[in-house]
Structure 1
Amino acid sequence: MSKQIYCLQSRRSRGEEGIALVMALLILLAMSIMIIGFSADVEMDVYISRNLQLRNQALNWAESGVDVVEEMVGYSVDTRGDEPVAFYLGDAQGDYFQGQISNGPLMYMSQDMNDPDEEPNVSFFEVINPGTLIEVGGVKVKFQGARPAEGGSIIIGAGYEGIGKGVAGAGGFSSYYQLIGRGYERLNSRQAVGTMYRHVQR
């Protein structure tokens, strides 16, 4: 009698061990699927973060290019078309950037702002080493016209760095330009900004 009971208990233990093994395998399978899912989520988050970083960098290139070209257009107007063909810029980290004017003078430019294939008037390049340039942006310039500004020179000059303040006169002369800046980054990330620039002639 005791032998039969022992055999039944032994058979029951082996059956329970088989079920435990199957359950353990199922649990491991479920955990593996969850880990793979978490890994895919983390990888997607990394891609999203990288794309946001590239987009922001491209936007920074576009905005910086517009800021620089505003000054260049003002200089071109003040000097009646005297402008450099190439120029260099630097930042606090010691990185250098090169700009090139492909067609000018900027004061007379009338680019087609709706044509994406038309070359920009000013292109910007990151200088990796003396022989390697990577294009990071460009700006198109379109002359919108010029007209005499109404009001006294104090009113005119107050909007442009104080030019004409305290000087008697019947008014000034303003030139208007449309600027479209585009920034480029790796993996074809592109951003564009546009602005209207008014230059009060000195």
Structure 2
Amino acid sequence: MTQWYPASPALWQGRDDSIEAPDARRLFQTVTRSETFSPENWQQKIALMGFACDEGVKRNAGRPGAAGAPDALRKALANMASHQGHERLVDLGNWVAPTPDLEGAQQALRDAVSRCLRAGMRTLVLGGGHETAFGHGAGVLDAFAQESVGIINLDAHLDLRQTDRATSGTPFRQLAQLCDAQSRAFHYACFGV
């Protein structure tokens, strides 16, 4: 079963320049970290979530390590300059995918994204492998079931591979199949191929 954990406060640390200038803030000073997954409490904010998963990469014969990316990205972002709008970021923690249940993990991420969007948040998901795209995209499609949704992929691969199960190379085929099952158009563009 996919588990949720709040992000460690140790990840959101950096240099404090506020003595020199009160508005010289860094992301660690403006991102709010939530101890619970409660998007209903954060309307009009931006949900920052991690999807700690290696399974899709492993299934695609890639190199494991993507599961550590969400926390590594937080640590790298923490000391960057914060600008107007960054105070809207709320860290809603990590969804941790157990091996080998990629499909269950994608469903958990899908449900979390949909819940955030329905609560009035926007979503930013830090992966994991590219299998993250299916959970995120499906959650957007669920939340906007009556809307036309466009999907943009910035990648050197289309990730539309035909396989018997989900991998990091199949997220957009999975989304195309979901759109087909829902009798809705699949609006997809890939830049970088």
Q: TM-score, normalised by structure 2?
A: 0.23
Q: More strand by proportion, 1 or 2? A: 1
Structure that is richer in helix per residue: 1
Of structures 1 and 2, the one scoring higher in RCO (CA 8 A, sep 6+) is 2
User: For the pair shown, which has the larger CA radius of gyration, 1 or 2?
Assistant: 1
Query: Normalised by the size of structure 1, how large is the TM-score?
Result: 0.22
